[in-house]
Amino acid sequence: MNISSKGVALIKRYEGLRLEAYPCPAGVPTIGYGTIRYPDGSPVQMGDRISEQQAELFLIEECNAIAKQLAKLVTVSLNQNQIDALISFCYNLGCGALSRSTLLKKLNQGDYPGAAQEFSRWVYITENGVRKSLEGLIKRRAEEKRLFETVGDEGEPTLVEPSPQEQVTWLEAYRSNQGQTIIAAWKDSELVELVTLDRAVKEDLISVLSLYKNARNLHVAPPEKRIPEGEIIKFLGAESVTSKPFAPQPALDSLLVRGSEGEEVKWLQKRLQELGCYDGEIDGCFGLITDNAVRVFQARVFGSPEADGKVGPLTWKALSGDSSIVPSKPYTDPGGGTYLRLTKTNDMDQFGLRKLHLAYIKNGQEVDSIFVCSGLEGKQNFRIGKYSQSGSNEPLPEGKWHIHDMLWVNGKDNYNASWSDGLGPVKINLDYQGPEYTKRRYIQIHIDWNRFKRYSGMAVYPGTAGCIGVYDEADFKRLATWLRESDPRDLYVDWGLGTCPKPTVSAQPVMT
């Protein structure tokens, strides 16, 4: 049982879309298409803002949860229109209302016409002790009834295959000869993946274990047991890869602390702003807001115990973006084309997202690159176009994509505004070009604006619903320079699955 695009459209029409949290008539904070709880179970709070893409994500997640409950409640066969009508009914009123209803009783008796007549009874609310019908509910129940009674012209169900991480049933922990902890994730007797932790830090272990939400238990392998063979994914823990600064970094002449002033502090503030840690003025004065931002950055890179707010040589070097993770060899295209190329690495960030390598290929040579992400935690399944489903929250599929122009919410190069908390100030729409087709929609390039919450440093839904998430402002500035320099319009996503087309051989003209 899954809702179809027809059922989703029905719900959208009657719920309406609100990208900023608002109180529903009962006073409950609500967002998107009537969402009151996010997929992780946390309640919506006033002040929350989301993107349209996130709103659809939450809608699909809730519909999938309702579908699972329907499968337990309904004992007779249903066509897709009936499934859509019942999911819409439950989305509005809850599965509890259906479970107690005469509608369900008649339906399970095989009395489909009688069940259809019951929809019109659910149009009342009680306000100030008075029971009254609502016009909106009358129209919605009438449309659900018509859909329930319609034979044929059914929508296509949104069939989302569980990701490999969701199929893991148990975990096994090993200790390597080098002292590393290695987690083997198993689906019964089948090895799904191996994840290694470089640091013996409790928080890292908890983060890795949380990726496998359906794993029932964790076994500790005896020392003599051999570690299974397979591709090893490296869990990086705290953010060990920081983007390169957009402006040159000055030399650090002395320790920067509260009360420091000067050009070094001004650069520090700009750099922390690029990394999503600072929202204050660029005034060169190391005050409380700067101190808080430094601590946020230090907690990300070194861990909370090391976040003291003092900027010395170690913090200064971390701010430089001098990463130890470098692609083994820059890519070369003998055809000499100019385009962007996206591939995956074997590294995983602290949010359970694969680090992806976005390269700028100019006249056949890789001249620059940044790290990005795509998809959500526990949904890191890389597929070809036709097998990549809408609503899966997985990375965008392998294939060729067309790059559209940059769209700014509040003027070119203005990073102080945002389309939404999820998208940030700028987005680039992508269109799938092949091979064959994909059901994925609303795929864009944007900053992963929720990767770190300003000031607190707490992550709020890091990752994307399938878009390419640029880590921070500094990296997007680098991407913007590529697009403005030679206007590449092709993006080749190559997950190593064998379906990515070869780049076109013609080079783009270089724009000055």
Nearest residue to 81 (alpha-carbon basis) of 7, 12, 9: 7
Q: Which of 165, 168, 173 is nearest to 218 (CA)?
A: 173
CA angle 25, 26, 27 (to 5 degrees): 90
Q: Using an 8 Å Cβ cutoff, are 382 and 497 in contact?
A: yes
CA distance 498 to 512: 36
User: What pLDDT shows up at residue 152?
Assistant: 82
Which one, of 480, 481, 484, 492, lies nearest residue 508 by Cα?
484
Q: Give one DSSP letter per residue of 271-316, joined into a string.
A: HHHHTT---S--SSB--HHHHHHHHHHHHHHH-GGG--S-B-HHHH
Tokens of 61: 């997640």
Residue pointed to by tokens 């390169």: 244
242: closest CA among 286, 291, 277, 202? 277
The dihedrals phi and psi of 332, each to the nearest 5 degrees, come to -130, 130
User: What does residue 182 show for φ and ψ, rounded to 5 degrees?
Assistant: -120, 125
d(CA 378, CA 299) in angstroms, rounded, equals: 24
Q: How high is the pLDDT of residue 452? A: 63
Per this entry, what is the length of the chain?
512
CA distances from 24 to 35, 45, 170 (A): 10, 12, 41
- DSSP lists the bridge partners of residue 187 as 190
Neighbours of 228 (CB within 10 A): 13
pLDDT of residue 24: 82
Helix segments in 183-245, DSSP class H = 202-209
Question: Can you list the domains of the chain with their CATH numbers?
Answer: 5-149 (1.10.530.40), 165-235 (no CATH), 244-324 (1.10.101.10), 339-493 (2.40.440.10)
User: pTM higher than 0.85 for the full model?
Assistant: no
Q: Which residue has the tokens 């259809």?
A: 116
What is the predicted pLDDT for the residue at 27?
83
Residue 501, preceding peptide bond in cis (omega within 30° of 0): no
24 tagged catalytic: yes
Q: Is 348 left (phi over 0), alpha (psi -120 to 50) or beta?
A: beta
CB proximity list for 135: less than 8 A, separation 6 or greater: none
Distances (CA, A) of 272 to 275, 445, 500: 5, 22, 37
Structure tokens at 159: 């069939």
Catalytic residue among 15, 62, 144, 264: 15
Residue 455: predicted pLDDT: 40
Q: Is 15 marked active-site?
A: yes
Residue 338 CB partners (closer than 8 Å, separation 6+): 361, 362, 363, 486, 488, 507, 508
What 8-state DSSP symbol labels residue 401? E
DSSP state of 152: S
Q: At 185, phi and psi to the nearest 5? A: -100, 125
59 CA to centre of own chain: 15
User: H helices of 110-155, where?
Assistant: 112-117, 135-149
* CB proximity list for 177: less than 8 A, separation 6 or greater: none
**Structure tokens of 210?**
């949380």
Burial 489-511 (b: 16+ CB within 10 A, else e): ebbbbbbeeebbeebeeebbeee
Question: Among the residues of 151-287, which ranges form H helices?
Answer: 202-209, 263-274
Write the burial class of residue 73 (CB in 10 Å: 0-12 exposed, 13-18 middle, 19+ buried).
middle
Residues 200, 180 contacting (CB under 8 angstroms): no
User: What is the rounded distance in angstroms from the CA atom of residue 398 to the CA atom of residue 53?
Assistant: 20
Nearest Cα neighbor of 443 from 423, 459, 466 is 466
Segments of the chain scoring below 70 in pLDDT: 40, 159-160, 238-242, 323-328, 420-422, 452-461, 505-512
- Enumerate residues 6+ apart whose C-beta is below 8 A from 455: 277, 279, 292, 293, 296
Of 20, 24, 127, 261, which residue is the catalytic one? 24
Q: 67 φ, ψ to 5°?
A: -60, -40
pLDDT of residue 460: 59
